[in-house]
């Protein structure tokens, strides 16, 4: 079984091609849990499976978090999978990718940089107070696509200087907060300068911080654009693993197309030989 290991701004993925070597879809959650384990196997935030299109796209992207749960979408993953699609000739410079959250389009900018038009905002609650241990956090709740990928945005002053363990525990409590129907990815952000943010995301399904989150940056910038705190034009978002750019322009007071741009890295191409994996050939 061949795989690629890629990352998009440090958000890392194992990629398997179900068109080239088919497996039953029901095998993938267990495969994700096994292969994404960082000490016992290859290690990654998620597993992505390239599959035959069924809705008129160039191919289908199935996304599994490292705990085996299905993610409706993944922005950095989509940027990586578009590079895979281009480099394996599944698609051209511009491609349509079927995701659980709906169709997205991807565009190759150059060898390493890819841009995705993310699923549009389907839920936006700008005033979403969340109580944790007696403190009320003035959060925003956002979903992208349908079914929507859930995100919470919380401003944290001096984010870079905050104690990581404190932040992780807060992230975990917000991620599992009783007010959330299906949990959420929790995005902490700080506005560093006009149209320049620093962000850290505690991800659902990884249950920890990842180095970057594409839909997280798209959700935060969408909320901040509606609040008039950023312009929505090519907003820079720095994360631990790299820099992402979000375009979320407003036309007549409404958000229009949401674009995520950033780098990709093909770290390895190889064969899965994990001896604990019964399926490995
Ligand atoms: N890191 C991803 C999001 C993965 C979503 C996943 N954590 C879930 O909530 O199912 C991104 O770049 O958009």
pLDDT, mean of each 10-residue run, the chain (281 residues): 97 98 96 98 98 98 98 98 98 98 98 98 98 98 98 98 98 98 98 98 98 98 98 98 98 95 98 84 44
The alpha carbon of 149 and the centre of ligand 1 are apart by a number of angstroms equal to 8
Q: List the residue whose alpha carbon is closest to atom 3 of ligand 1.
A: 74
Same domain, yes or no, for 152 and 92?
no
Q: Is residue 192 part of a domain?
A: yes
Same domain, 256 and 176: yes
Tokens 């998620």 — which residue?
46
- Could you tell me if the ipTM is greater than 0.95? yes
Asked if the structure places residue 18 within a domain, the reply is: yes
pLDDT at 279: 61
From the list 185, 195, 189, the residue with the least C-alpha distance to 138 is 189
Is the Cα dihedral 277, 22, 70, 119 positive or negative? Answer: positive
DSSP-assigned beta bridge partners for residue 182: none
Domain match, 55 and 147 both: no
How many folded domains does the chain comprise? Answer: 2
Give the pLDDT confidence score for residue 281 in this predicted structure. 44
φ and ψ of 277, to 5 deg: -95, 115
Q: Is 277 a domain residue?
A: no
Residues paired with 106 in a beta bridge: 95, 116
Using left for φ > 0, alpha for ψ between -120 and 50, and beta otherwise, residue 230 falls in beta
For strands 196-203 and 235-239, give the pairing: parallel
What's the whole-model pTM score?
0.97
Whether 276 is in a domain gets the answer no
The answer on 161 and 191 residing in a single domain is yes
Q: What is the pLDDT of residue 278?
A: 78
Ligand 1: residues within 6 Å at CB? 11, 65, 71, 74-77, 149, 185, 203-206, 210, 213-216
* 278 belongs to a structural domain: no
Phi-psi domain of 79 (left: phi exceeds 0; alpha: psi -120 through 50; beta: other): alpha
CATH number, domain containing residue 63: 3.10.310.10
- In terms of domains, do 76 and 134 share one? no
69 and 97 both lie in a single domain: yes
Residue tagged active-site, from 36, 74, 115, 140: 74
* 278 is known as an active-site residue: no
33 domain-assigned: yes
Catalytic residue list contains 213: yes
Q: How far is CA 208 from CA 66, 84, 173, 242, 266, in A?
A: 11, 26, 11, 18, 23
- In the reported structure, the alpha carbon of residue 231 is separated from the centroid of ligand 1 by a whole-number distance in angstroms of 24
Query: Are residues 133 and 62 part of one domain?
Result: no
Range of the domain at 28: 2-118+265-271
Do 112 and 6 lie in a common domain? yes
* Ligand 1 midpoint to CA 241 (Å): 15
Which residues contact residue 122 at a Cβ distance below 8 angstroms, ignoring those fewer than 6 apart? 143, 144, 145, 146, 148
Atom of ligand 1 nearest to the CA of 149: 9
Question: 271 to each of 4, 14, 56, 202, how far by Cα in Å?
Answer: 9, 11, 30, 30
Residue 173 forms part of a structural domain = yes
Judgement on whether residues 113 and 208 belong to the same structural domain of the protein = no
Quick check: is 251 in a domain?
yes
Rounded Cα distance, 113 and 132, in Å: 39
């Amino acid at each position: 079984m061949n795989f690629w290991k890629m990352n998009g701004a440090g958000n890392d993925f194992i990629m398997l091609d179900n068109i080239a070597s088919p497996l039953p879809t029901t095998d993938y959650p267990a495969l994700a849990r096994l292969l994404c384990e960082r000490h016992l196997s290859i290690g990654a935030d998620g597993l992505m499976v390239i599959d035959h299109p069924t809705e008129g796209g160039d191919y289908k992207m199935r996304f599994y978090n490292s705990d085996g749960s299905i993610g409706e979408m993944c922005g950095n993953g989509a940027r990586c999978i578009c590079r895979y699609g281009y480099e394996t000739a599944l698609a051209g410079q511009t491609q349509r990718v079927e995701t659980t959250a709906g169709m997205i389009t991807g565009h190759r900018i150059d060898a390493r940089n890819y841009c995705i038009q993310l699923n549009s905002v389907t839920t936006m609650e700008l005033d979403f107070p969340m109580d944790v241990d007696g403190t009320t956090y003035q959060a925003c709740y956002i979903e992208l696509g349908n079914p929507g990928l859930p995100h919470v945005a919380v401003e944290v002053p001096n984010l870079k200087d905050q104690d990581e363990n404190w932040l992780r525990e807060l992230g975990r409590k917000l991620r599992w907060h009783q007010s959330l129907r299906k949990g959420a990815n929790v995005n902490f952000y700080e506005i560093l300068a006009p149209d320049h943010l620093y962000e850290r995301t505690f991800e659902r399904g990884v249950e920890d911080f990842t180095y970057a989150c594409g839909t997280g940056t798209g959700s935060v910038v969408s909320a901040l654009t509606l609040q008039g705190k950023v312009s929505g034009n090519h907003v820079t978002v720095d994360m631990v693993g790299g820099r992402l750019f979000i375009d979320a322009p407003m036309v007549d007071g409404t958000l229009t197309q949401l674009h995520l741009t950033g780098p990709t890295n093909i770290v390895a191409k190889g064969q899965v030989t994990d001896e604990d994996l019964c399926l490995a050939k």
